[in-house]
Structure 1
Amino acid sequence: MKRRLYPAVLERGPRGAFGAWFPDFPGCVAAGRSQEEAIERAEAALAQAVDGWAEQGRTLPEPTPIERIEPPKGSDIAAFFMVGVDPPDPSERVNVYLPKSLIARIDKRAAELGMSRSSLFGFAATLALEWRLPPPGLAAPRSKVHKTGALRAEKRPGKKPAR
């Protein structure tokens, strides 16, 4: 699912504070001492709300057009703004057969990184998919230095130097 933009309402509160709320996500609110802080917190709040909806199996609502937003009476609207969110990508269970020794090494490394085995597999797969191989012909070594990483210091008996 592609990135979605949801409208948010920024309101002035008492003592110079600001609050933000989302018409499409009741209860999704954020506050801050400045407009910037309220907007940053609103972005985090929306991401959390979207994750919560996905965990509950709910489909995301269509974004409400700004012109259809009806603020509550007496609210001091400072601005309307849009917040982008990437909907969660549902997981799917897969079975993979690997040598036990490799699985043990994977589990050890995942624990070192504070990850689960599945998270490490996902991370490694993402890196592998983003990795770009050099175009054909560029990957092959061009000289002995490239092949071995060093020049040969010894001379072979019976070989004449190339001219």
Structure 2
Amino acid sequence: MATVYYPAILERGAQGYGAFFPDLPGCVSAGATAQEAALGAEEALGGHLAVMVAHGDVLPEPSELDALARDPEVDEVARLLVRGERPGRAVRVQVSIEEGLLARIDRVATNRSRFLADAARAALAGAQEVGG
């Protein structure tokens, strides 16, 4: 996966704050505070990109932050660059794994490579949460 940064606009609303991505219609985050909306933007972006990839949609290139036009109807609080992961091409690797563990994986997984990649992603996400 390749790291990519999409611009988001943080706006003040009647019930709190929201963040939206001009390059990705429908990708939004909200919170009671600006910080909540901003922190949720990365999770929203990750989910949105994953759904787009799963549906075979082409991911747009991120716009330049300074190139985004201002909308006079938006009570803009800030502009953010939000990190996301763009899936890369699959690469064949050779790994060694204990045969009993491999047999257990094969009993529950229809696709061994996908299972191992998903397990790696989950472990890495957990390591990021622990590490801060």
Confirm or deny: 8 A CA contact 1:110 1:120 kept in the other structure. no
Structure showing the higher strand proportion among its residues: 2
Larger radius of gyration: 1
**TM-score w.r.t. structure 2 length?**
0.68
Deviation at 1:68, TM superposition (A): 2.5
The equivalences for 1:37-48 within 5 A come to 37-48=36-47
Unaligned runs of 5+ in 1: 97-101, 125-163
How many correspondences in the alignment? 113
Q: 1:22 to 1:106 in 2, by over 3 A?
A: same
Q: Which amino acid aligns with 1:39?
A: A
Bigger proportion of residues as helix: 2
Greater RCO, CA 8 A, separation 6+ = 2
RMSD: 3.0
In structure 1, the residue corresponding to 2:39 is in which secondary structure?
helix
- Which residue in the other structure is 1:76 paired with? 75
* TM-score normalised to structure 1 length: 0.57
Residues 98-151 of structure 1, C-alpha deviations (whole Å, 9 max, x = no match): xxxx3x64243677xxx7343554458xxxxxxxxxxxxxxxxxxxxxxxxxxx
Contact 1:18 1:31 in 2 (8 A): yes
Instruction: Tell me how far apart the structure 2 counterparts of residues 6 and 82 of structure 1 sit (CA, whole Å).
Output: 5
For 1:106, the equivalent position in structure 2 comes to: 102
| Aligned 1:147-158 pairs, distance under 5 A | none
The alpha-carbon distance between structure 1 residues 118 and 80, as it changes in their structure 2 partners (threshold 3 A), is same
